[in-house]
């Protein structure tokens, strides 16, 4: 005798056989659900762990010191602007090398080199140098700075941000290296970011 149960043809089926089939199906669905749940949790955990461990990666970043020019190429008392080129990394995206900022280098008559960030500490506009007035000038709010970076006039909360410089001798040439970094704008304290 044959009977139809849930669209399936079952031939002289006993209750215990149906119970075994049902248990196998439940076990299969339970395993599938566990696997899918684990996969979903892994997909969520990878970016979260990447975010949590990003501080370790930042600690291993390469040196942010850039060789900009030969010392002899700087004219005493005449500031020159140099663009900093590097690879920018934003979360998981790596961009091709490009400009990340610029600095002003100035050599004194005794050969000492001073470097300033070209970013205005007020709102982050680019600072220019006006040779005729011998001062730095931010066009956003007409802010002015002395050649030593001290503020003269304008709404900026502090003077220009000075950067650390070193002189390195390579094959007889003296090169100016600058430790480039960005600082928080709009506050009186010089607070490094990034």
pLDDT given for residue 31 in this prediction: 82
Please give the helix or strand (H or E) that residue 85 lies within, else none.
strand 80-86
Question: Per residue in 115-145, pLDDT tens?
Answer: 999 999 998 899 999 988 899 999 988 899 9
pTM exceeding 0.95: no
Question: Per residue in 149-178, pLDDT tens?
Answer: 999 998 889 999 999 999 999 998 999 999
Handedness of CA 65, 71, 77, 83 (dihedral sign): negative
d(CA 161, CA 145): 11
CB atoms within 10 A of CB 148: 13
Instruction: Collect all residues with Cβ–Cβ distance below 8 Å to 84 and sequence separation of at least 6.
Output: 66, 99, 100, 101, 102, 103, 178, 180
């Amino acid at each position: 005798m044959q009977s139809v149960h849930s669209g399936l043809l079952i031939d002289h089926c006993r209750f215990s056989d149906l119970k075994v089939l049902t248990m196998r199906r439940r076990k299969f669905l339970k395993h599938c659900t566990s696997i899918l749940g684990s996969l979903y949790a892994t997909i969520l955990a990878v970016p979260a762990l990447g975010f949590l461990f990003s501080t370790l990666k930042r600690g291993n970043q390469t040196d942010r010191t850039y060789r900009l020019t030969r010392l002899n190429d700087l004219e005493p008392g005449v500031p020159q602007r140099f663009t900093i080129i590097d690879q920018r990394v934003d979360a998981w995206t790596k961009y091709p090398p490009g400009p990340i900022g610029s600095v002003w280098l100035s050599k004194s008559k005794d050969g000492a080199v001073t470097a300033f960030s070209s970013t205005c500490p007020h709102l982050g506009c680019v600072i220019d140098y006006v040779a005729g007035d011998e001062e730095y000038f931010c066009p956003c709010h007409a802010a002015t700075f002395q050649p030593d970076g001290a503020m003269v006039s304008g709404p900026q909360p502090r003077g220009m941000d000075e950067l650390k410089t070193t002189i390195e001798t390579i094959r007889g040439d003296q090169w100016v290296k600058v430790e480039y970094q960005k600082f928080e704008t709009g506050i009186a304290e010089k607070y490094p970011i990034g």
